[in-house]
C-alpha cells in the first residue's frame, strides 16, 4: 500500500498518533501532513530560485533531487517522510562522510538542493562550479515558517522514483541507486509480513538516517501507520528511558545496539518491560549477542534479517549467529561462480537474488558496475552457499518445481506442489567477495574464521585478513584487539582455541594485535584497512 495513502488515512483516523519523534521534536500524523505542506513549499522555492539549476541524474526522469545532510535524525526524518507525498527525490548524505565523497555524490548525481550545516561542503561545491543551493537547517526552517503551504500530499504513480540511496561511502566512492514507489511498496510488503512494523507500534530506530537500515525503519513505520522514534545516535541509558516513557515495543538497529540493550537491561530491567522485539540488520549477529539479550530480557524476541539496500529484504534468522538465513516468500536465490554459472549445492559462490523490490541499477554517473541483469537477477557480490533445510533434501535431490531449490543452486521461497511444501534450503552467508581468501588451494571465508573467536575470554573484536606469502601465495592472519587493559590472549591460547573450532585450512597462520581495529563511521571493521596496518608494520606480531 502506498506510504502517502497510509499517512493520510492515519492522520484522519488517528490524528494524535505520534508519527515521528526525536531529540529535536515530535510530530503527530496530523501535524506531519501539515508540516509536509510547508516543507515541500520551501524545497520547491529553493529549486525554482536557481538561475541555472543542476540537471538531475537522468534516471530520476527530470525530478529534482533534494538531499539532507544534518546531524538531527528528527529533522532528516520529517523532511524525507514529508517529501514522499510529492514529486520529489530525496537523499540523505552522512555529514561524517569524507568531504570528497560528499562532493563526488553531489556532482555525479546533480543534487539540486542540500540542507546542510557544513560550511566546507558549500565551499567545496562552489569551487567545483556546482550551481545548486546549500541551505542551513536554521535557514530552511525559517523558509518553511514563511512559506505558503503547498497542496496536500497525494499518492503518486508506482513507477516514479522517490528515494536515492548509496551502497557505500566510507571505503570507496559511493554508488547511488534509486527506489521507485512500487519497488518500495514491494519492500514494505515483505517487511510487514516478517518484521512486524504494525499499525500503532512504537519503534525505536537509533542511528543516522543516512544508514539504509535506519531509513528503511522510518519508511516502513510511515507505510504501516506506526510511530518512528528516532535518535541521532545510540545511548543505552537514553534508550532505556525512552522505552519506558513511551512504551516502545520494537527496536530496529545494528547488532551492537542489541548488545548495549542487554547490558543496560541487566542494570535496570524494569525500564525495558514494554519491549517485545529487537530487529537487527546490517551485519552478522554474533551468537553471544543473541544469548546475552535472551539472558537479560528473556521475554524479548530477536530477529536478525539479511538484506541489501539495493535489493531489499531477503530473509532472516531467528537463532544462532545470523548466518543461516530462511528466505522470505517471493525471494529467489542462486549461487554462481565467477563466470555466472550455477555451482553445485553446498559450494561457495556469489549470491544472486531475484525480488520485486530490487532497484533497476546504479546511477550511471556514479559507477559502471552492473547491479541487475536483463533477466532480473541482481547481485551485490555477497558470498554464500545453499544448504538443505534441517531434515530436508539437498537442492539437487529436491529438483525443479518442488518449491525447494532447483538443480543448479537456485532456491525459491514458494510452496511445494499438491499443497505439500517441500523443506526449503536455507542460505548460508559468509561475507562479501573480498572476504574470501584462497590459500593452499582452499577457499577460506574470512568471516567464518572471525566467528570462531566469538566468546573467547579476554578478546575484543577480531579481523581476519589475507596476506601475501611466498610459499602459499596467500595466508590467513588474524588481527585482534583487547577486550580490556589486561591485553589480548597469547598466541598459544589463540591457536588452541582456533584448532578446537576450525578446520585446519581455516586456522590462521599468523597472529597480530592492535589497540583498536580500523572502523567505518558506522563502526563496522574495515578489512582492507586492517590488512594495510599489518603490511605497513603498524600491528604487533604475536
How is residue 117 written as a grid cell? 550545516
CATH of the domain at 449: 3.30.300.30
Q: How many domains does the chain have?
A: 3
Determine the pLDDT at residue 398.
33
Same domain, 85 and 27: yes
β partners of residue 511: 478
Residue that is last in its domain, among 184, 199, 233: 233
Determine the pLDDT at residue 418.
46
Chain-centroid distance, C-alpha 191: 13
Close Cβ partners of 489 (under 8 Å, ≥ 6 residues apart): 456, 457, 458, 459, 480, 497
Q: Which residue, among 232, 293, 207, has the nearest Cα to 524 in the 3D structure?
A: 207
385, burial (CB in 10 Å: exposed 0-12, middle 13-18, buried 19+): buried
Q: Which residue, among 243, 86, 234, has the nearest Cα to 163 in the 3D structure?
A: 86
Range of the structural domain that residue 392 is part of: 330-433
Same domain, 389 and 447: no
Close Cβ partners of 421 (under 8 Å, ≥ 6 residues apart): 403, 415
DSSP structure string for 58-72? GGGTT--EEEEE-S-
How is residue 24 written as a grid cell? 529535536
Q: Are 188 and 224 in contact (CB under 8 A)?
A: yes
- Residue 370 falls inside a structural domain: yes
- Residue 274 falls inside a structural domain: no
For the chain, the farthest-separated pair of C-alpha atoms sits apart, in whole angstroms, at 72
How is residue 457 written as a grid cell? 575470554
Q: List, for residues 283-335, the tens digit of each pLDDT value.
A: 678 888 899 999 999 999 999 999 999 999 999 999 877 778 999 999 999 99
DSSP structure string for 31-60? HHHHHHHHHHHHHHHHHHT-SS-----GGG
CATH of the domain at 167: 3.40.50.12780
How far is 193 from 233, CA to CA, in rounded Å? 28
Same domain, 141 and 94: yes
Residue that is last in its domain, among 411, 433, 455: 433
Q: Which helix (H) or strand (E) holds 259?
A: helix 255-267
Per-residue pLDDT of the chain (542 residues; tens, 9 = 90+): 689 999 999 999 999 999 999 999 999 999 999 999 999 999 999 999 999 999 999 999 999 999 999 999 999 999 999 999 999 999 999 998 889 889 999 999 999 999 999 989 999 999 999 999 999 999 999 999 999 999 999 999 999 999 999 985 444 577 999 999 999 999 999 999 999 999 999 999 998 899 899 999 999 999 999 999 999 888 888 899 999 999 999 999 988 889 899 999 999 999 999 999 999 986 678 888 899 999 999 999 999 999 999 999 999 999 877 778 999 999 999 999 988 999 988 888 999 999 999 999 999 999 999 999 989 999 999 989 998 876 443 333 333 222 333 334 566 655 444 455 566 789 988 877 778 888 876 778 898 899 899 889 999 899 999 998 877 778 999 999 998 888 899 999 999 999 999 988 889 999 999 999 998 766 778 888 999 999 999 999 99
How far is 11 from 32, CA to CA, in rounded Å? 8
- Residue 46 falls inside a structural domain: yes
How far is 133 from 119, CA to CA, in rounded Å? 12
Same domain, 468 and 428: no
Q: Which residue, among 172, 252, 256, has the nearest Cα to 212 in the 3D structure?
A: 252
- Residue 261 falls inside a structural domain: no
- Encode 280-310: b = buried (16+ Cβ within 10 Å), e = exposed: bbbbbbbbebbebbeebbeebebbbbbbbbb
Same domain, 334 and 360: yes
- Residue 88 falls inside a structural domain: yes
Determine the pLDDT at residue 169.
44
Same domain, 157 and 190: yes
Same domain, 417 and 509: no
Indicate the pTM of the whole model. Answer: 0.83
CATH of the domain at 395: 2.30.38.10
Tell me the residue length of the chain: 542
How is residue 51 written as a grid cell? 538561475
Q: List, for residues 114-128, the tens digit of each pLDDT value.
A: 999 998 999 999 999
Same domain, 341 and 472: no
Determine the pLDDT at residue 412.
62
Determine the pLDDT at residue 254.
86
Q: List, for residues 375-410, the tens digit of each pLDDT value.
A: 999 999 998 999 887 644 333 333 322 233 333 456
Q: What is the 3-state secondary structure (H, E, C) of 338-378?
A: CCCCECCCCCCEEEEEECCCCCCCECCCCCCCCCECCCCCE
- Residue 346 falls inside a structural domain: yes
Same domain, 196 and 344: no
- Residue 178 falls inside a structural domain: yes
Q: Which helix (H) or strand (E) holds 240?
A: helix 236-246
Same domain, 71 and 198: yes
Determine the pLDDT at residue 445.
84
Same domain, 37 and 157: yes
Q: Which helix (H) or strand (E) holds 90?
A: strand 89-92
Determine the pLDDT at residue 197.
96
- Residue 259 falls inside a structural domain: no
Q: Is the alpha carbon torsion for 108, 113, 115, 117 positive or negative?
A: positive
Residue that is last in its domain, among 433, 467, 500: 433
Same domain, 445 and 390: no
Q: Which helix (H) or strand (E) holds 313?
A: strand 312-317
How far is 113 from 258, CA to CA, in rounded Å? 36
Amino acid at each position: 500500500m502506498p506510504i502517502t495513502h497510509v499517512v493520510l488515512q492515519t492522520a484522519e483516523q488517528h490524528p494524535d498518533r505520534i508519527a515521528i519523534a526525536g531529540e529535536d521534536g515530535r510530530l503527530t500524523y496530523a501535524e506531519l501532513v501539515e508540516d509536509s505542506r510547508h516543507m515541500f513549499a520551501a524545497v520547491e522555492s529553493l529549486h525554482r530560485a536557481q538561475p541555472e539549476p543542476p540537471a538531475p541524474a537522468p534516471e530520476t526522469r527530470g525530478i529534482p533531487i533534494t538531499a539532507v545532510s544534518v546531524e538531527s535524525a528528527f529533522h532528516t526524518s520529517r523532511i524525507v517522510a514529508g517529501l514522499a507525498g510529492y514529486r520529489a527525490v530525496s537523499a540523505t548524505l552522512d555529514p561524517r562522510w569524507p568531504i570528497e565523497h560528499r562532493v563526488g555524490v553531489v556532482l555525479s548525481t546533480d543534487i539540486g538542493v542540500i540542507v546542510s550545516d557544513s560550511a566546507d561542503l558549500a565551499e567545496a561545491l562552489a569551487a567545483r562550479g556546482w550551481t545548486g543551493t546549500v541551505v542551513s537547517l536554521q535557514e530552511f526552517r525559517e523558509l518553511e515558517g514563511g512559506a505558503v503551504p503547498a497542496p496536500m500530499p497525494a499518492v503518486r504513480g508506482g513507477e516514479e522514483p522517490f528515494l536515492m540511496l548509496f551502497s557505500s561511502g566510507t571505503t570507496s566512492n559511493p554508488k547511488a541507486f534509486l527506489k521507485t514507489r512500487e519497488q518500495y511498496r514491494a519492500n514494505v510488503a515483505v517487511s510487514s509480513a516478517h518484521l512486524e512494523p504494525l499499525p500503532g507500534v512504537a519503534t525505536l530506530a537509533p542511528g543516522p538516517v543516512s544508514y539504509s537500515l535506519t531509513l528503511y525503519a522510518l519508511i516502513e513505520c510511515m507505510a504501516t501507520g506506526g510511530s518512528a522514534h528516532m535518535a541521532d545516535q545510540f545511548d543505552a541509558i537514553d534508550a532505556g528511558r525512552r522505552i519506558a516513557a513511551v512504551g516502545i515495543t520494537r527496536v530496529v538497529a545494528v547488532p551492537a545496539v542489541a548488545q548495549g540493550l542487554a547490558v543496560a537491561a541487566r542494570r535496570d530491567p524494569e525500564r525495558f518491560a514494554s519491549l517485545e522485539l529487537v530487529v537487527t540488520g546490517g551485519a552478522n549477529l554474533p551468537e553471544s549477542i543473541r544469548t546475552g539479550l535472551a539472558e537479560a530480557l528473556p521475554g524479548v524476541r530477536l530477529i536478525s534479517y539479511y538484506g541489501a539496500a539495493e535489493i531489499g529484504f531477503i530473509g532472516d534468522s531467528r537463532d544462532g549467529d545470523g548466518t543461516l538465513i530462511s528466505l522470505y516468500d517471493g525471494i529467489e536465490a542462486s549461487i554462481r561462480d565467477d563466470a555466472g554459472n550455477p555451482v553445485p549445492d553446498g559450494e561457495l559462490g556469489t549470491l544472486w537474488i531475484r525480488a520485486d523490490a530490487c532497484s533497476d541499477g546504479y546511477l550511471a554517473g556514479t559507477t559502471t558496475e552492473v547491479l541487475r541483469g536483463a533477466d532480473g537477477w541482481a547481485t551485490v557480490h555477497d558470498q554464500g552457499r545453499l544448504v538443505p533445510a534441517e531434515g530436508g533434501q539437498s537442492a539437487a535431490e529436491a529438483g525443479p518445481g518442488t518449491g525447494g531449490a532447483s538443480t543448479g543452486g537456485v532456491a525459491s521461497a514458494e510452496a511445494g506442489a499438491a499443497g505439500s511444501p517441500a523443506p526449503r534450503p536455507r542460505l548460508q552467508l559468509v561475507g562479501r567477495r573480498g572476504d574470501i581468501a584462497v590459500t593452499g588451494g582452499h577457499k577460506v571465508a574470512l568471516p567464518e574464521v572471525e566467528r570462531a573467536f566469538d566468546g573467547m575470554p579476554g578478546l575484543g573484536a577480531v579481523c581476519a585478513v589475507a596476506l601475501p606469502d611466498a610459499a602459499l601465495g596467500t595466508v590467513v592472519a588474524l588481527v585482534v584487539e583487547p577486550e580490556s587493559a589486561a591485553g589480548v590472549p597469547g598466541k598459544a591460547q589463540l591457536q588452541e582455541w582456533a584448532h578446537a573450532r576450525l578446520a585446519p585450512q581455516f586456522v590462521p597462520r599468523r597472529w597480530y594485535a592492535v589497540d583498536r581495529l580500523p572502523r567505518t563511521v558506522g563502526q563496522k571493521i574495515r578489512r582492507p584497512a586492517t590488512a594495510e596496518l599489518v603490511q605497513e608494520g603498524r600491528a604487533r606480531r604475536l
